[in-house]
């Protein structure tokens, strides 16, 4: 189908918050030349980990007051005045980003059903994670199925999500994949601007000459950081340092376990402002649980990643044994084997690093992600 690129129309993206890693892609989408677009998001709320970026300059956005609503065991975010903003903007397309913004896309469905039958809705999220049944109950399944039937198009964060939608009977032509990555331009520029050698950075961080295996990110149960300690315990006799970079509710628990088990090969950096230094000195970054943004961040610095099941983007970003290692099983011994393979073959580690960075530079980056979203919005607007 030939897109009518010369036809201007109005689109809005509904988002709970605009985190720092998402700002660049939203800027590209809202400043495109094909249609007018704004992001409608909420304000920061106490007690929630998700926050708006401190710098939203250059982003076409509307910020609304937010409220927390307790719904059974979940805490949902309500944007005050969202329906009024939709009426005022009269969009041709509404993109509902992130399934966690349930109340936001519920308002969008209400707007379509009762106020503007011509508006097109797009749902943009993971849809499913590898190895997980996302339907917590029949009621949950039914609510999601009914809601999904109101959308005209879908944008998946990964090709895995597209396969799940296809298995549900969703037609291929209404599904797009915008592989979810970090602000790749930001991290690539950080790597390019670095004027220090690996050895100099290690010396500044007091890390020595050991092979460095890093966990980078929030230290909480969902990301399974405890597996790093089990791996470290199995590799006590190797010249390997396990580095945990980040903060979170489970950090103290991990530190206590290390002290109790005398894991002297584990170091804790905590929350750091110079995260690029830790990516650069890491020989390998391990993803023991969920969370895919760290994968693309690591690849920007040419650091190989070892991962089992994160959020599905690993299947897009990593070609096994070429730009990283995709494990078929996620046990301690599986991670140990992969780490030892790279530790014993510095050439392979370096080659994987070069390839991982090339994948980001040439294929999966912020520009690609934004362009796929823009294309999906155009296609759903002009579908017959």
pLDDT at 337: 98
**Does the residue 198 lie in any domain?**
yes
Beta carbons of 1 and 382 less than 8 angstroms apart: yes
The two three-digit tokens of residue 149, written as one number:
């039937």
> Could you tell me whether strands 66-71 and 74-79 are parallel, antiparallel, or unpaired per DSSP bridges?
antiparallel
The two three-digit tokens of residue 266, written as one number:
């584990």
* Residues in CB range of 335: below 8 A, 6 or more apart: 227, 231, 286, 288, 306, 308, 327
Averaged pLDDT of the chain: 93
Sequence-ordered alpha helix ranges (H) in the chain: 20-30, 82-89, 102-114, 138-148, 159-167, 184-193, 198-205, 226-234, 251-261, 275-281, 293-300, 314-317, 332-343, 346-362, 366-382
**Does the residue 59 lie in any domain?**
yes
Residue 202 and residue 152 in one domain: no
What is the per-residue pLDDT across 34-79, written as a single tens digit (0 to 9) for each? 999 999 999 999 988 889 999 999 999 999 999 998 876 778 899 9
**Does the residue 372 lie in any domain?**
yes
Mean pLDDT of 69-95: 92
Residue 91 and residue 149 in one domain: yes
pLDDT at 2: 46
Residue 191 and residue 229 in one domain: yes
Confidence (pTM): 0.93
Specify whether the backbone of 250 is left (phi greater than 0), alpha (psi in -120 to 50) or beta. alpha
pLDDT at 164: 94
Number of domains in the chain: 2
- C-alpha span between 11 and 377 (Å, rounded): 8
Phi, psi (deg, nearest 5) at residue 101: -90, 60
Residue 199 and residue 84 in one domain: no
Q: Which domain holds residue 240?
A: 184-362
Predicted confidence (pLDDT) at residue 384 exceeds the cutoff of 60: no
**Does the residue 4 lie in any domain?**
no
Predicted confidence (pLDDT) at residue 324 exceeds the cutoff of 60: yes
Q: Write the CATH number for 293.
A: 3.40.50.2000
Total residues found in the chain within this entry: 384
pLDDT band at 1 (very low <50, low <70, confident <90, very high): very low
**Does the residue 2 lie in any domain?**
no
What is the per-residue pLDDT across 254-282, written as a single tens digit (0 to 9) for each? 999 999 999 999 999 999 999 999 999 99
C-alpha 302 chain-centroid distance = 18
Residue 144 and residue 165 in one domain: yes
Residue 177 and residue 205 in one domain: no
What is the per-residue pLDDT across 126-184, written as a single tens digit (0 to 9) for each? 999 998 765 566 676 777 788 888 999 999 999 999 999 999 999 999 999 999 999 99
What is the per-residue pLDDT across 196-239, written as a single tens digit (0 to 9) for each? 899 999 999 999 999 999 999 999 988 999 999 999 999 999 99
Secondary structure of residue 118 in the 3-state scheme: coil
- C-alpha span between 67 and 44 (Å, rounded): 10
pLDDT at 246: 95
* Residues in CB range of 44: below 8 A, 6 or more apart: 17, 51, 52, 66
Selected residue with higher pLDDT from 4 and 243: 243
Q: Which residues of 245-265 are buried (b: 16+ CB within 10 A; e: fewer)?
A: bbbbebbeebbebbeeeebeb
**Does the residue 196 lie in any domain?**
yes
The two three-digit tokens of residue 6, written as one number:
């010369």
**Does the residue 326 lie in any domain?**
yes
- C-alpha span between 118 and 106 (Å, rounded): 17
Residue 354 and residue 372 in one domain: no
**Does the residue 5 lie in any domain?**
no
Residue 217 and residue 322 in one domain: yes
* Residues in CB range of 377: below 8 A, 6 or more apart: 11, 35, 37, 93, 95, 122
Residue 119 and residue 152 in one domain: yes
Residue 247 and residue 168 in one domain: no
Residue 166 and residue 209 in one domain: no
Residue 176 and residue 275 in one domain: no
pLDDT band at 348 (very low <50, low <70, confident <90, very high): very high
């Amino acid at each position: 189908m030939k897109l009518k690129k010369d036809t201007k129309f109005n689109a809005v993206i509904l988002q709970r918050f605009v985190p720092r890693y998402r700002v660049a892609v939203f800027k590209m989408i809202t400043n495109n030349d094909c249609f007018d677009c704004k992001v409608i998001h909420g304000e920061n709320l106490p007690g929630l980990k998700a926050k708006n970026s401190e710098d939203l300059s250059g982003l076409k956005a509307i910020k609304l007051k937010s409220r927390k609503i307790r719904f059974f065991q979940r805490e949902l975010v309500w944007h005050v005045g969202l329906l009024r903003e939709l009426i005022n903007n009269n969009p041709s397309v509404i993109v509902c980003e992130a399934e966690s913004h349930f109340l936001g896309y519920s308002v969008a469905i209400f707007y379509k059903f009762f106020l503007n039958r011509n508006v097109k809705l797009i749902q943009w999220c993971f849809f499913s994670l590898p190895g997980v049944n996302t339907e917590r109950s029949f009621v949950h399944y039914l609510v999601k199925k009914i809601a999904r039937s109101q959308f005209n198009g879908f944008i998946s964060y990964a090709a895995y999500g597209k396969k799940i939608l296809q298995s549900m009977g969703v037609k291929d032509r209404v599904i797009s994949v915008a592989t979810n990555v970090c602000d790749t331009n930001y991290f690539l520029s950080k790597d390019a601007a670095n004027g220090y050698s690996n050895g100099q950075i290690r010396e500044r961080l007091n890390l020595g000459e050991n092979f460095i295996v890093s966990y980078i990110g929030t230290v909480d149960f969902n990301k399974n950081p405890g597996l790093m300690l089990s791996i470290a315990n199995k590799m006590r006799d190797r010249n390997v340092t396990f580095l945990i970079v980040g903060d979170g509710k489970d950090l103290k628990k991990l530190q206590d376990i290390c002290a109790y088990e005398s894991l002297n090969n584990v170091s804790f950096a905590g929350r750091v402002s110079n995260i690029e230094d830790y990516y650069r000195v890491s020989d390998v970054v391990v993803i023991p649980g969920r969370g895919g943004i760290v994968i693309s961040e690591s690849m920007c610095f040419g650091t190989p990643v070892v991962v089992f099941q994160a959020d599905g983007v690993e299947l897009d970003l990593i070609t096994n044994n070429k730009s990283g290692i995709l494990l078929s099983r996620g046990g301690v011994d599986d991670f140990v084997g992969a780490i030892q393979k790279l530790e014993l073959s510095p050439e392979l580690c370096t080659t994987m690093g070069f390839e991982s960075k090339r994948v980001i530079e040439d294929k999966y980056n912020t520009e690609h992600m934004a362009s796929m979203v823009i294309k999906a919005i155009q296609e759903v607007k002009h579908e017959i």
